[in-house]
Amino acid sequence: MSTESDRGAVNASQTVTEKDREFLRGCVGLAQEALTAGDEPFGSLLVDESGTVRFRDRNRVKDGDATRHPEFEIARWAAENLSPHERRTSVVYTSGEHCPMCSAAHAWVG
């Protein structure tokens, strides 16, 4: 789980910036894409410390795999493609609060 100092390293002021809003609108767009495809409306982005979107996905549970949440896909992708430092300094933007499965996956991959 993250500590107070981990969170402070990512966003010391906890202020929502216009860039944050842009990323959140991107998540809502992915959620809309999921809904249009007949899935549950959730979407998420992983943004690195330079502000670059490194991975994005939407919910894909409609075909029977209940683990296909975008936040879980981010955790899998990050574990395979990012260093521990990159994972620790990246930010996940998502259209809804993480479920317990995804929260645990993010904790495990840092």
- Interface with Zn ion by CB under 5 A: which residues? 69, 99, 101-102
Instruction: Compute the least distance from the CB of residue 8 to Zn ion, in Å.
Output: 25
Instruction: Compute the least distance from the CB of residue 96 to Zn ion, in Å.
Output: 9
Task: Pick the closer one to Zn ion by CB: 82 or 92.
Answer: 92
Q: Is 43 helix (H, G, I), strand (E, B) or coil?
A: strand
Instruction: Compute the least distance from the CB of residue 99 to Zn ion, in Å.
Output: 3
Extract the tokens encoding 1. 């789980």
